[in-house]
């Protein structure tokens, strides 16, 4: 009898683990068409990563986590969140939309700040990566894809009970001290979370200076069910980054830049859900102060940008297989700058999405959105998705039109100075990027442990915005430029066609309660054809071939955690001032952990860039070499 009970309990535990694995491989997502549905019926390539992945990998900022997820190229200029550009499917870094609980984080000043996501890992429920066109749902910037960070507080359901506190503290070479503290608490109607992340280091020696970082992020959020149908959620966060920015933006020998970026974020959400209806109203306010000093004798560029948002959407299930989603979006963008001047832009948008099931296996979605502002006029963005899901396979296809509007840096950089002797020059005459994307692929679910997603895609772009080396004689405006200067002008490039193939692999397997493995692998091949004779900067820098991976293995009290990436790209010759960009590099990080008190307290040691690879992602700003770290983890 006792043996029988043990066998039943073991089988039940195995079945539960199998269900958890299956849900992790095919999660419920809201990023494809705003309606909650399994990823396998959206017709899109979607990866969902739990927030708990942060604890199991040798990473210490959110952009470092994204760097090793399948198919994402993160072009970093420094360690631990100093600054990173996020690229999907070979686009530029401004062609990826970042969302936090449905509200856009993309800064109106520059896309270089898009990876500054003010959230502690403990507060993250999941990160959804939607690859490919999504302007029909989200508007500007959703060209290469969308990265949607969903917090536990805003995702909290009624009458759940949970308490969790995590602390990770580390020290390392180059005077590194780091802390990651966060907690989440929910009882019945109310959920509260908060977190603090700090990373301080003197940094490794670069060209006469050290790549220091002093980064701090603090956040707090709360949600409360007013009654079984209405929920109110709120968040406030502060993010401060102080880092060496030497050769982040130029290749001049006189560049010994330092930069400070302070972001203040507020978000409010109100939702109603009953029977077949759902209504959501979100408001957000973001203020960013950016102080950039080119060298010790130059004056500082002081830029203050503001982004006000109001989003509303209504979802109605009008038949068992038919759901209609409609909504609006209002945005007010502002900048006050001694470098770029004072400017503002108001954008209004409306959208409509029809999700339609056809029989048992087919799901389709059609969406259309219209955006309007005084700079770029009116732009329409249609999209259609198709999914055939049966048993262990999903066949999917998608096609849609995308747009991207120029940010304030692209329009007005160096426009308000008395004299500019070199560097990047903005262009107020920039037109809105337009592109058409289409893709097809298949997802295979093998047992309860494997998911393999593979597919091809193509993006045909017109008027793409990028920085192009331009002589003084060809500059459209010369008022404050030196005839002897070396310049890069923001321009609309005629046509850029990008074709690619991608494969994402996820593997999750629990051998027993004490032994588990989680692994991901991404492979992307890209080919971009540019009509311009002179190559643009950011299109020239993206990887032509990229593979990145994660491996987490735990056995009783021991954990082995690996991640890394290999990429090939167009090489750039070095100069006397900075190292060239090699045509390829491979980077791997290793972490070993030991649980001293089961599921409560542990220690870890790690080595980043374990093979001491010398490399740069952009402009020759060198990335750190081998870096040893260690610390403790407390989980309550």
Answer whether 282's CB lies under 8 Å from 313's CB.
no
As a three-state string, the secondary structure of 161-217 is EEEEEEEEEEEECCCEEEEEEEEEEEEECEEEEEEEEEEEECCCECCCCECCEEEEE
High-pLDDT (> 90) share of the chain, %:
66
Residue 21 pLDDT > 70: no
Domain locations along the chain: 2-221+238-635
pLDDT at 633: 92
The residue-averaged pLDDT of 583-587 equals 92
Residue 3 pLDDT > 50: no
Among 49-53, 378-382, 571-575, 625-629, the range scoring the smallest mean pLDDT is 571-575
**Dihedral sign, CA of 397, 400, 405, 410?**
positive
Residue 490 pLDDT > 60: yes
Q: Which CATH architecture has domain 2-221+238-635?
A: Beta Barrel (2.40)
pLDDT at 538: 75
The number of angstroms, rounded, from the C-alpha of 240 to the middle of its chain's C-alpha atoms is: 18
Q: Which two tokens stand for residue 31?
A: 């990023």
pLDDT at 378: 94
The residue-averaged pLDDT of 278-304 equals 93
Please report, for residues 121, 137, 368, the alpha-carbon distance to residue 33 in angstroms, rounded to integers and kept in the order given.
26, 7, 11
Among 155-159, 252-256, 273-277, 440-444, the range scoring the smallest mean pLDDT is 252-256
Residue 359 pLDDT > 60: yes
Residue 236 pLDDT > 80: yes
Tell me the pTM.
0.92
* Contacts (Cβ under 8 Å, ≥6 apart) of 9: none
pLDDT at 539: 77
Q: Which of the pair, 217 or 577, is modelled with greater confidence?
A: 217
What is the Cα gyration radius of the chain? 24
pLDDT at 580: 65
Overall residue count recorded for the chain in this entry: 636
Task: Band the pLDDT of 2: cuts 50, 70, 90.
Answer: very low
Among 85-94, 503-512, 576-585, the range scoring the smallest mean pLDDT is 576-585
pLDDT at 442: 97
Q: Which two tokens stand for residue 162?
A: 């949970």
Task: Band the pLDDT of 349: cuts 50, 70, 90.
Answer: very high
The residue-averaged pLDDT of 603-627 equals 90
pLDDT at 404: 94
Among 10-14, 105-109, 413-417, 464-468, the range scoring the smallest mean pLDDT is 10-14
Residue 517 pLDDT > 50: yes
Task: Band the pLDDT of 1: cuts 50, 70, 90.
Answer: very low
Among 24-33, 165-174, 627-636, the range scoring the smallest mean pLDDT is 24-33
Among 1-15, 310-324, 543-557, the range scoring the smallest mean pLDDT is 1-15
**What are 61-79's pLDDT values in tens digits?**
888 888 999 999 998 888 8
Helix, coil or strand: residue 362: strand
- The burial of 96, by beta-carbon neighbours within 10 Å (0-12 exposed, 13-18 middle, 19 or more buried), is given as buried
The residue-averaged pLDDT of 82-96 equals 89
Residue 10 pLDDT > 60: no
Please report, for residues 57, 296, 387, 504, 626, the alpha-carbon distance to residue 65 in angstroms, rounded to integers and kept in the order given.
8, 34, 29, 16, 18
Which one of 295-299, 505-509, 594-598 scores highest in mean pLDDT?
505-509
Residue 498 pLDDT > 80: yes
pLDDT at 14: 45
**What are 193-210's pLDDT values in tens digits?**
999 999 999 999 888 788
CA distance 479 to 476: 10
The residue-averaged pLDDT of 555-569 equals 92
Task: Band the pLDDT of 621: cuts 50, 70, 90.
Answer: confident
Answer whether 38's CB lies under 8 Å from 361's CB.
no
Task: Band the pLDDT of 532: cuts 50, 70, 90.
Answer: confident
pLDDT at 20: 56
Chain mean pLDDT for the chain: 90
Q: Which of the pair, 517 or 82, is modelled with greater confidence?
A: 517
pLDDT at 213: 93
CA triple 214-217-220, angle to 5 deg: 165
Residue 254 pLDDT > 50: yes
DSSP 4-60: HHHHHHHHHHHHHHHHHHHHHHS-EESTTTSS-EEGGGSSSEEEEEEGGGGGGSS--
**What are 406-444's pLDDT values in tens digits?**
999 999 999 988 898 888 999 999 999 999 999 999 999
* Contacts (Cβ under 8 Å, ≥6 apart) of 381: 135, 136, 139, 368, 369, 370, 371, 400, 401, 402, 403
CA distance 431 to 391: 46
Helix, coil or strand: residue 429: coil
pLDDT at 77: 86
């Amino acid at each position: 009898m006792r043996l029988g009970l043990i066998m039943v309990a073991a089988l039940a535990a195995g079945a539960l683990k199998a269900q958890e694995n299956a849900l992790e491989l095919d999660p419920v997502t809201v990023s494809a068409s705003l309606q909650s549905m399994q990823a396998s019926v959206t017709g899109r390539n979607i990866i969902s990563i739990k927030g708990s992945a942060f604890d199991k990998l040798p990473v210490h900022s959110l952009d470092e986590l994204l760097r090793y997820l399948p198919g994402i190229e993160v072009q970093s200029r420094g360690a631990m969140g100093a600054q990173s550009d996020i690229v999907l499917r070979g686009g530029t870094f401004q062609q990826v939309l970042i969302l936090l609980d449905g509200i856009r984080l993309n800064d109106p000043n520059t896309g270089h700040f898009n990876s500054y996501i003010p959230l502690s890992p403990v507060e993250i429920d999941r990160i959804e990566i939607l690859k490919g066109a999504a302007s029909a749902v989200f508007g500007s910037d959703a060209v290469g894809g969308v990265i949607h960070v969903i917090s536990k507080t805003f995702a909290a359901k009624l009458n759940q009970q949970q308490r969790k506190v995590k602390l990770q503290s580390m020290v390392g070479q180059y005077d590194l001290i780091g802390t990651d503290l966060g907690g989440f608490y929910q009882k019945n109607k109310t959920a509260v979370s908060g977190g603090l992340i700090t990373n301080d280091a003197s940094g490794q020696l670069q060209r006469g200076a050290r790549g220091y970082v002093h980064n701090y992020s603090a956040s707090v959020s709360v949600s409360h069910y007013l009654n079984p149908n209405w929920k109110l959620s709120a968040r406030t966060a502060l993010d401060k980054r102080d880092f060496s920015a030497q050769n982040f933006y130029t290749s001049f020998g006189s560049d010994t830049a330092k930069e400070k970026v302070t972001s203040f974020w507020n978000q409010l959400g109100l939702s109603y859900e009953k029977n077949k209806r759902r209504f959501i109203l979100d408001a957000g306010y973001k203020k960013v102060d950016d102080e950039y000093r080119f060298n010790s004798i130059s004056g500082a560029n002081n830029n203050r940008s503001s982004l006000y948002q109001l989003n509303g959407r209504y979802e109605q299930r009008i038949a068992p297989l038919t759901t209609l989603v409609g909504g609006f979006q209002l945005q007010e963008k502002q900048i006050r700058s001694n470098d770029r001047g004072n400017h503002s832009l108001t954008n209004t948008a409306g959208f409509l999405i029809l999700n339609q099931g056809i029989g048992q296996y087919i799901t389709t979605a059609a969406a259309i959105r219209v955006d309007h502002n005084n700079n770029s006029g009116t732009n329409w963005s249609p999209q259609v998705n198709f999914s055939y899901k049966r048993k262990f396979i999903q066949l999917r296809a998608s096609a849609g039109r995308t747009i991207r509007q120029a940010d304030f840096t692209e329009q007005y950089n160096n426009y308000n100075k008395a004299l500019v002797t070199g560097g990047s020059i903005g262009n107020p005459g920039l037109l809105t990027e337009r592109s058409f994307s289409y893709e097809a692929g298949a997802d295979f679910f093998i047992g309860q442990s494997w998911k393999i997603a593979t597919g091809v895609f193509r993006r045909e772009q017109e008027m793409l915005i990028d920085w192009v080396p331009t002589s003084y004689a060809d500059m459209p405006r010369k008022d404050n430029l030196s005839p002897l200067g070396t310049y890069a002008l923001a321009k609309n490039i005629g046509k850029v066609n990008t074709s690619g193939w991608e494969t994402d692999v996820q593997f999750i397997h629990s051998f027993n309660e004490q032994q588990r493995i989680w692994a991901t692998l991404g492979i992307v091949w890209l080919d971009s054809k540019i009509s311009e004779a002179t190559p643009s900067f950011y299109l020239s820098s993206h990887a032509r071939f990229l593979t990145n991976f994660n491996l987490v293995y735990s056995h009783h009290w021991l954990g082995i955690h690996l991640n890394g990436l290999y990429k090939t790209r167009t090489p750039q010759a070095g100069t006397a001032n900075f190292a060239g960009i090699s045509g390829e590099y491979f980077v791997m990080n290793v972490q070993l952990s030991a649980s001293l008190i089961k599921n409560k307290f542990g220690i870890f040691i790690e080595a980043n860039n374990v093979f001491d690879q010398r490399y740069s992602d952009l402009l020759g700003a060198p990335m750190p070499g081998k870096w040893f770290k260690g610390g403790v983890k407390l989980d309550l």
